Amino acid sequence: MSVGWGFLGAGWIATRAMAPAVHAASGAHLQAVASRSPERSTVLDPLVVRADYDALLDDPDVDVVYVCLANDQHAEWVVKALDAGKHVLCEKPLGRDSDEARHMASAARRADRLLVEAVWTRWHPRFRRLAEIATSGALGDLSSIDSAFTFPGAIDGNYRADPSKGGGALLDVGGYQAHAWVALSGGANDISIEQATSSIGPTGVDLTTSVAALIDGTVHANALCSFEMDEAQHLIVRGSIDTAAMGAGQAFTSWREESTLLVGSTVEVFAPVDAYQVMIEQVSARIQGEDSWVVPMNDTIRVAEILDEVRAIAT
């Protein structure tokens, strides 16, 4: 059986990464696309182009909907898709805050359908290996997690520049780092935000946010998110026995390239992989009742709670 995917939206990430991933994936096919532009929808090469979002949700051959709309549209269309009996993979962040995330999670439980946040980095074999090492005790007792995801972004006229639409660097790239905190610490169940500073742009969104936190009373975490700094990504985890760090390949967005993980003096090499394709295959397998891994909804909600806490105290 091949799972039928339907896309709400045909923007950059859907065109560049997600549609090719579905076409390449085993056990999946791109059944339908609906967007504001039929021409853009056609470029994704679905079996059918639907006139609007509701028409796609009415398609009986669509099993799972990928929501790749602006952040402020996620809650509306995720819930509508779930209520239509569809499983949902939603682009990150799932919600603009934890209340929205919990609302969508509740809708998924009510509909008895799968809801997953598309944090594609977490399906990358290198990240999965780092999480395994960090939570297994191989590094000893964790003492720190340091990360950064910065780039000079042109966000004028983009939803990322609009605070009402869930814009800003923290929601855009901070989620990657908060997911790392959760995955590497085994849930980040107790977090104290010790310091958070933001540089606010003319439209009211944070262009840069830096955060210092204490996880579970013992792990010092530092994260840097920015739309206005030079491009840089890093992720380093230190423990009482050893240190692990992302090596060659972007720390959070390594895509179709060889990458490495540095564990003490050992270099682990990972073959080029499309983590978007892995995500599609794992979500499709879960829908078919197979044993597969997806980002737990509890992790998604915890990340949203962390970002809420950061925004609440950022100066």
pTM: 0.97
Residues 126, 106 share a domain: no
Backbone angles phi, psi at 163, to 5 degrees: -60, -30
Q: What percent of the chain has pLDDT over 70?
A: 100
CATH number for the domain spanning 199: value is: 3.30.360.10
Residues in CB range of 84: below 8 A, 6 or more apart: 57, 58
Mean pLDDT, rounded, for 18-43: 97
Q: What is the average per-residue pLDDT within 271-293?
A: 98
- Parent domain of 195: 121-313
Contacts of 168 (CB under 8 A, 6+ apart): 160, 205, 206, 207, 209
Q: Are 125 and 97 contained in the same domain? A: no
Q: Answer yes or no: is pLDDT of 24 > 90.
A: yes
Give the residue from 95, 118, 141 where a domain finishes: 118
> What is the C-alpha separation between 214 and 139, in angstroms, rounded?
18
Whether residue 109 is found in the same domain as residue 239:
no
Does one domain contain both 19 and 154?
no
Examine the domain organization and report whether 98 and 144 are in the same domain. Answer: no
Residue identified by tokens 């530092």 is 222
Distances (CA, A) of 121 to 20, 39, 309: 17, 30, 23
- Mean local confidence (pLDDT), 240-253: 98
Domain boundary among 118, 140, 172: 118
Q: How confident is residue 85, by pLDDT bands cut at 50, 70 and 90? A: very high
Residue pLDDT, tens place only, 115-132: 999 999 999 999 999 999
C-alpha–C-alpha distance, residues 177 and 183, integer Å = 10
Instruction: Verify that 152 and 175 share a domain, yes or no.
Output: yes
**Mean pLDDT value across residues 203-230:** 97
**pLDDT number for residue 98:** 98
Binning pLDDT at 50, 70 and 90, where does residue 220 land? very high
Identify whether 92 is a catalytic site residue: yes
Final residue of a domain: which of 84, 118, 152?
Answer: 118
| SS3 assignment for 76-120 | HHHHHHHHCCCEEEECCCCCCCHHHHHHHHHHHHHHCCCEEECCH
Q: What is the pLDDT of residues 141-165, one digit of tens each?
A: 999 999 999 999 888 888 899 999 9
User: pLDDT band for position 69 (50/70/90)?
Assistant: very high
Q: Per the residue annotation, which of 80, 86, 92, 165 is the catalytic one?
A: 92
Claim to verify: residue 84 and residue 129 sit in the same structural domain: no
pLDDT at 157: 80
Q: Are residues 61 and 137 in the same domain?
A: no
Q: What is the mean pLDDT of the chain?
A: 97
Predicted confidence at residue 86, as pLDDT, reads 98
pLDDT score for 204: 95
Q: Which structure tokens are listed for 266?
A: 């050992």
Residues 58/42, Cβ–Cβ less than 8 Å? no
